[in-house]
Structure 1
């Protein structure tokens, strides 16, 4: 299992390297030596780079990566874009370490950390690793949502079967067969038929309360 995961990572790496020139990158960093070095190195890699300080309250569309300077003067800034469902890859740029800085790095969901002073060595690796981690997180989120959807569907079918068993005095198997047959005849999923049964039961139950 572990070997398969490693092989998938190795196969993904060339694609990540190839896609670097298509990345839209925001650099939220003061216009100092580190900020200039970071911007220049990203441009040499081929990324499409824009630099701002202080950080923007809202993000332009299509941003893939954010390099964010985590500094005492920016720690208390609430970034609304962090609350969005789809957040770009975030790489924290830190000048020094203390518990508050580390806590902030974790709070913003950084996928990599770039230490200051910024050097050309290590930047490419941080970018590729962060993109890899970000992609894996998104993949896991999609899988979790898919599983949650399946679980919800199972629960709805179980509830719909219970309604049919009570109202029609039929067995569990017969109730499921009825749901399945309706789904096939209407060319919809069994989950949709189950949801319709539950909704209809709730409507019919209103007058009995």
Structure 2
């Protein structure tokens, strides 16, 4: 390097598609403005991430945050951060200065997908970011599949109950009750589950009305 020449600014070379998408990430850094906080912010900016810094920890994050690095410190471990438990919560990486049962419990409470130890170094940061992102994606995928399974099971239960209601009120067989529900779904251009839920709800309302009338 020639005397007086400005040092070149090096950026991390990210090659694979999985790593290239890191440059598009919006990241919140919830960390004090100390050596660790500055090192963390600088390294994330070197990767190419869009970084916003907050301290003290905020109760509401800006929309569209993909990853949140959060300093887990004794002064804030008893606070509940609703954004960390929301359906669209970002992947959370805990930054810890030391380990004890209270800190570990706090890391679990916020749902951290990875842990970054202090003092923060460039080594390990990229791995923590990638691992947290992948674990977060898998977790959200499993949650979506679980909701679909629960909805399917609810639909099956309501269909069974709806058939029982029709069999009792219309004196028809189980197959005939099924056909009635299917015909209604086709005519109204909706699902059998929706028709079944409507039948069950109507039956419960009528039963409640009869019960109240009997009490009167």
* Same topology, TM > 0.5: yes
Give the corresponding residue for 1:31: 33
SS in 1 for 2:210: coil
Compute the displacement of 1:201 (Å).
Answer: 2.1
- Provide TM-score, normalisation by structure 1: 0.89
Q: 2:108 aligns with which of 103, 106, 109?
A: 106
Give the corresponding residue for 2:11: none
**Cα distance in 2, alignment partners of residues 174 and 164 from structure 1:** 9
Give the corresponding residue for 1:8: none
Give the corresponding residue for 2:57: 55
Compute the displacement of 1:171 (Å).
Answer: 1.1
Compute the displacement of 1:51 (Å).
Answer: 1.2
Q: 1:130 aligns with which of 116, 129, 132?
A: 132
Bigger radius of gyration: 2
**Cα distance in 2, alignment partners of residues 90 and 207 from structure 1:** 50
Give the corresponding residue for 1:188: 190
Q: Indicate the larger mover: 162-171 or 176-185.
A: 176-185
Give the corresponding residue for 1:95: 97
**Cα distance in 2, alignment partners of residues 15 and 192 from structure 1:** 42
Which runs of structure 1 show a deviation greater than 4 angstroms over 4 or more consecutive aligned residues?
none
Compute the displacement of 1:206 (Å).
Answer: 4.0
Change (3 A) 1:58 1:131: same
The CA RMSD measured in Å over matched residues stands at 1.5
Q: 1:150 aligns with which of 152, 159, 163?
A: 152
Asked if 2 retains the 8 angstrom alpha-carbon contact of 1:16 and 1:132, the reply is no
| Unpaired runs of at least 5, structure 2 | 1-14, 212-216
Count the aligned residue pairs.
197
SS in 2 for 1:208: helix
**Cα distance in 2, alignment partners of residues 102 and 204 from structure 1:** 53
Compute the displacement of 1:14 (Å).
Answer: 4.2
Asked if 1 retains the 8 angstrom alpha-carbon contact of 2:85 and 2:110, the reply is no
